[in-house]
Structure 1
Amino acid sequence: MTQPPDQPGPPALPDLPVTFRPTRTRVVLIGVGVAACAVISVIALVLDTLSAAERISFVFTGLLFLAVLLLLSRPHVTAAADGVTVVNLTTSRCLSWAEILKVNLRPGDPWVYLDLADGTILPVMGIQPGVAKAQAVSDARTLRALAEKYGTAER
């Protein structure tokens, strides 16, 4: 029996390890951060009316802005043969495949959520449909297929 054209079949499983990240969002965040830091630093150097301390504070502000945007571009998830590593803004968590019960990406969700065997739900900010919805849906399906393949083998 064949699949209807509007119903995609199960995704082809990639070779492990594989990393999922919101690439477009990451490019925008890093690009804006570098550009803003450069502009603020140039302004600090060009304005003759600023004291040395004011120039330093301008450059520091630009670097701080860049650091925040780099932090926002950090999330990713890496699937390997032994499990999954979820890296969010300030936390990182390694999970075995058996710990992942379900991979969820419902309409309106800001990112993927993992239902875990301990009864908790873990957000996976590395797969987010904000800018690239089709890519996020594809990545979520792939992660779900990997969890089904490797998770059931360990149970």
Structure 2
Amino acid sequence: MTSIVLRPKKIRRVAWACAVGLVVVFTIVGLLLGDTPTGVIFRTSDQVAMIVLGFLLAGGVLLLTRPRVTADAEGVDVRNVVTSHHFDWNDVLSVSFPDGAAWARLELPEDEYISVMAVQAVDREYAVSSVRALRELHKAARV
């Protein structure tokens, strides 16, 4: 039984770079807060809070690395930034990637759809091969 796991490529690299950058910048700012000639007194708690804020923002940015699709002959699991869904292939009408869309989607009955954020247009050839793989699994399951 064939099973595939798809994750976005480019956004993962960008998100990790941004997260590291946020932590570094907020750590430097936090450490330098104590030496300001403005007359404002920053305490150690202010410095720690600035560093913690950097980590919290980095964690928020890293949520963009969360999307994943796991598909096999039985169905497809779609995990986006916040939500997760499971669909049997019988519940999916098609796998599409509309012109101008940022990511692929699963077309569902009654004009509904679910975005597949793991397959993003910026990944170009990887996105094309991912959609083809999902379509093949969908086609095989519906025969």
2:111 is aligned with 1:125: no
Query: For residues 64-93 of structure 1, what are the alpha-carbon distances to aligned partners after superposition, in whole Å with 9 as ceiling and x for unaligned?
Result: 211111111211111123211000111000
TM-score, structure 2 as length reference = 0.86
Matches within 5 A, 1:127-146: 127-130=119-122, 132-146=123-137
Structure 2 unaligned runs (5+)?
36-41
**Could you tell me how far apart the structure 1 residues matched to 2:73 and 2:67 are?**
20
1:26 maps to what in 2? Answer: 12
**Could you tell me how far apart the structure 2 residues matched to 1:30 and 1:16 are?**
30
Query: For residues 9-62 of structure 1, what are the alpha-carbon distances to aligned partners after superposition, in whole Å with 9 as ceiling and x for unaligned?
Result: xxxxxx732111111211110122023212311331244333112112211220
- Partner SS, residue 48 of structure 1: coil
Write the letter of the residue equivalent to 1:120. Answer: E
Report the CA distance shift for 1:59/1:16 in structure 2 as closer, same or farther (over 3 A).
farther
Write the letter of the residue equivalent to 2:93. Answer: L
User: Structure 2 residue aligned with 1:45, among 28, 31, 34?
Assistant: 31
Identity across the alignment (%): 31
Matches within 5 A, 1:13-92: 16-49=2-35, 50-92=42-84
| Cα contact 2:23–2:55 (8 A) shared by 1 | yes
2:102 is aligned with 1:95: no
Report deviation, 1:119. Answer: 4.4
Q: Hey, which bits of structure 1, 4+ residues long, moved more than 4 A?
A: none
1:148 maps to what in 2? Answer: 139
Number of aligned residue pairs:
137
